[in-house]
Amino acid sequence: MRILAIDYGRKRIGLAMSDPLGMMAHSLETLVRASPRKDVAHIARLIGEHEVSLLVAGNPILLNGEASEMSVEAEAFAARVAKRARIPYKMWDERMSSVEAGHWMRDAGLQPKRDGSVDRMAARILLDSYLAAQ
C-alpha cells in the first residue's frame, strides 16, 4: 500500500512517498504553489501515476493541541486532493516537523535553503512518523 504525505504550505508543498509495501518513506518533490486548482491536479496526477492508496496530510496544530488557521487550510486542501484522486486521507500531527527537518539537515552537514529541501524533508519526517505508528 503506497502512501503519499504532504507538508502543506502557502508557498510550497513538500511531498514524500512510501515504498509499495508502506514501510519506508522517501522524499519525492517540492511543489511550488501555482493555484489551488493546478496544485490539486498535480498531486492527484502523482497519486494516479504511483498507485497511491492513502494521502496523509500534515496537521499543523498548535503546541497546545488546538487547531490552527493552517490546520483548517491543510485539511481543506487534503480533502480536495483526496476527492479528486478518489482515495481516503488522514490528517497527522506535524508539530515541529519543519524545525526537525532543518535540524536533521544541519546535523547531516547540509544547509537548509528556501529551495524546497526543508519542505520535502518535513514531508518525509511526517510520513516516517505515520508509518512508525501503524
- With contact defined as beta carbons under 8 Å apart, do 28 and 42 qualify? no
Number of domains comprising the chain = 1
Q: Find the CATH number of the domain harbouring 38.
A: 3.30.420.140
Lookup result for grid cell 522524499: 27
pLDDT the model gives residue 43? 98
Residue type, 130: Y
pLDDT in tens, 85-103: 999 999 998 865 555 555 5
pLDDT the model gives residue 61? 84
pLDDT in tens, 45-65: 999 999 999 999 999 887 787
Crossing angle (nearest 10°) for helices 36-49 and 69-85? 50
| Residues composing the chain | 134
Q: Tell me the three cell numbers of residue 31.
A: 511543489
Please give the residue range of the domain that contains residue 53.
2-133
Residue type, 41: A
